[in-house]
Amino acid sequence: MATKKIFIIPAFIFFLVYYFMLPVLVGYAPHFMSIKVWGNVNLAYLFALSQFFMAWTIAGLYVRAGDDFDEISKDIIEKALEHENSQGAK
Amino acid sequence: MSVPLLMFLVFIAITLGITYWASKRSSGSSAYFAAGRQIRSWQNGVAVAGDYMSAASFLGIAGIIAFQGYDGFMFSVGWLVAYLTVLLVIAEPLRNAGKYTMADVLAYRLKPRPVRAMASLSTLTVSTFYMIAQMVGAGALVALLLKGSGISYHTAVIGVGVLMIVYVVFGGMLATTWVQIIKAILLMAGTLLLSILVMSHFHFSFAAFFDAIGHVTYHEKGQEVVKDFLQPGLRYKPPYGPLELISLGLALIFGTAGLPHILVRFYTVPDARTARHSVVWAMALIGSFYIMTTFLGFGAATIVGRDFIATHGGTNMSAPLLAQALAGDIFFAFICAIAFATILAVVAGLTISASTSFAHDFWTNVIHRGEERKPGEEVRVARISAFVVGAIAMAIAIMLGPTANVAFLVALAFAVAASANLPVIVLSIFWRRFNTAGAVAGLGVGLIASIGLILVSPSLMAIDPPTVTGAARHLIQAKAWFPLENPGILSIPLGFLGAILGTMLSHEPTSTHKFNELLVRSNTGLGAEKALAKH
């Protein structure tokens, strides 16, 4: 469970900060966000678009990590059940 | 018979066929409420996407981007990113610890009757408000889409209402799931096709496309204006615009993970691992869809133009009119049929979550203290309440009429979900000391704060010029007391505060004791509800 938290808490905080930077910057620094990067495409649009890839990346990493947690917890359950059974037999 | 009507009828025939098939397999509570927990991860992922992407996102977002440019795209971003909260915090513990509703998780370690009663109240509030918003939208839309077939607003509302009741009453969760899957596939196909057509209009040159967005021409107050639609600030203007954006973001990020009709979907899969994988499936679809709103919205702004849309049905018609401009009447009909399917799938999801909560939480566990007096009673009560909830939503939608200002109801649903449901779910999973008084206080404060703040917000309080008449007028003719349309920035902290203060001011040793049990179960799935065996 502790290993699970090691992933979830930083990931959650990172995504909150990254996401709320968008409305804060768009709201309070509209001129900065209007800087054109490529043709007419500005920073505001690119940053918004990057949010989608940020979300997908975190989701992908979490699914990978999550499947490992499943293995660990399955192990723990099996061991606990074995322990119980052996005690019951005595 | 018009082509759109024909396509509507084809969709209705297919979904009724599915309902008939599902009705023969939906016996028993777990089968009816949770599709026997046999839904696969990709199926559930697609169904979550179908449950979530309402007409507000398909027609509404395309319209807001077409009219107000970049600011509309901000909704698109929030609607996807919110799924990280669902994925990281909610989906797995919910699946492991609960049975049919979010209240199951709370009742696991808290006193069941008070928390279930409050959770059921908040679920019914969110679902009913959201449903009324969808029904009014559906009625106006169907009447508009099928203009010329002689279908009025009333007929449209009744048609949508009757269909959703039939899906839920006879087909239960299994039929609802498949209606949502078909709708999601149709929606993705339609959006993809529309996006490709938009790009082919610009000869597949992104430079030309974004260049065109740079100078969108339309008329405002009789004067021609040219605006860069990629520039932020067309919708959210100072002084309150920036705060409104943040408040909207908060409501989306924390509200999505508290929407009852999304939460119930995680009970339909066999285990937490499948729940996790299904969120990723949903995120892939939802994300691709919302990125494509770039083409839908900006495409409508540049190719069709704001002036034309305003005189041909208004903002909500942006996507269908774009389809008509690019590929003619048949494609227009196809996009209209998708919009119709979208509405039906969402209202069916809302109906089943509301009726499950009433039957399982309120009827069985609050009134009858957790005992089914006769086998099958819970399912029967759910069927009756699905009928009643649907009928109430239909009646209110007809009373309000097609011109009613209902957009605030969606904001309200997200605000209640974020301020009442989410704090108590999170605290009951993660906070050892959390107790019943805290849960009841959190749900109560979150619910009252959201409703109260919306009542005094500019959505309901404003001074209309005398030219505005009837249901389109604001409810309270005075200057708004609270300046934001989205109360999240204030109501979410209030919900958490209520929950924390309620806990601090009372003692309940058993809830602390049972916390360890919940912690183990929600993390490992030990003792979680099993899937029904395949027949």
Identify the helix (H) or strand (E) that includes residue B426: helix B422-430
Give all strands (DSSP E) within A7-90, no chain letters: 36-38, 41-42
Residues of B with Cβ-Cβ distance to A11 under 8 angstroms: 84, 88
Which of B232, B246, B284 is closest, CB to CB, to A30? B232
Picking from B129, B162, B181, the residue whose alpha carbon sits closest to that of residue B409 is: B129
Residue B377: the pLDDT is 80
CA distance A83 to chain B (A): 15
**How many CB pairs below 8 A link A and B?**
124
* pLDDT at B90 exceeding the cut of 80: yes
Selected for mutation to probe chain A from B83, B88, B216, B281 (highest A CB count within 10 Å) is: B88
Structure tokens at B496: 């958490």
Q: How much is the mean pLDDT over chain B?
A: 84
* pLDDT at B519 exceeding the cut of 50: yes
Which of B213, B272, B287 is closest, CB to CB, to A40? B213
Q: Walk me through the domains of chain B, giving residue ranges and CATH numbers.
A: 3-402 (1.20.1730.10)
Residues of B with Cβ-Cβ distance to A44 under 8 angstroms: 70, 230-232
Identify the helix (H) or strand (E) that includes residue B217: strand B216-220
Give B256-276 pLDDT, tens digit per residue: 988 888 888 888 888 888 889
Q: Which residues of B450-488 are buried (b: 16+ CB within 10 A; e: fewer)?
A: bbebbbbbbbbbbeeeeeeeeeebbeeeeebebebbbbb
Query: What is the share, in percent, of chain B residues with pLDDT greater than 90?
Result: 16
Selected for mutation to probe chain B from A7, A53, A56, A81 (highest B CB count within 10 Å) is: A56
Q: What is the model's pTM?
A: 0.87
Selected for mutation to probe chain A from B73, B231, B250 (highest A CB count within 10 Å) is: B231
Contact B73 A20 (CB under 8 A): no
Residue type, A87: Q
Q: What angle do CA B114, B120, B122 make, to 5 degrees?
A: 105
Length of chain A, in residues: 90
Per the structure, the count of domains in chain A is 1
Residue A90 pLDDT level (bands cut at 50, 70, 90): very low
- List beta partners, residue B226: B217
Contact B280 A59 (CB under 8 A): yes
Domain that holds residue A66: 2-89
- Whether A25 contacts A47, CB under 8 Å: yes
In this structure, the number of other CB atoms found within 10 A of the CB of residue B296 comes to 28
Contact B525 A73 (CB under 8 A): yes
In this prediction, residues B186-208 reach a mean pLDDT of 91
- A27-36, B182-191, B231-240, B503-512 — most confident range: B182-191
A55 to chain B: nearest residue by CA? Answer: B81
Length of chain B, in residues: 535
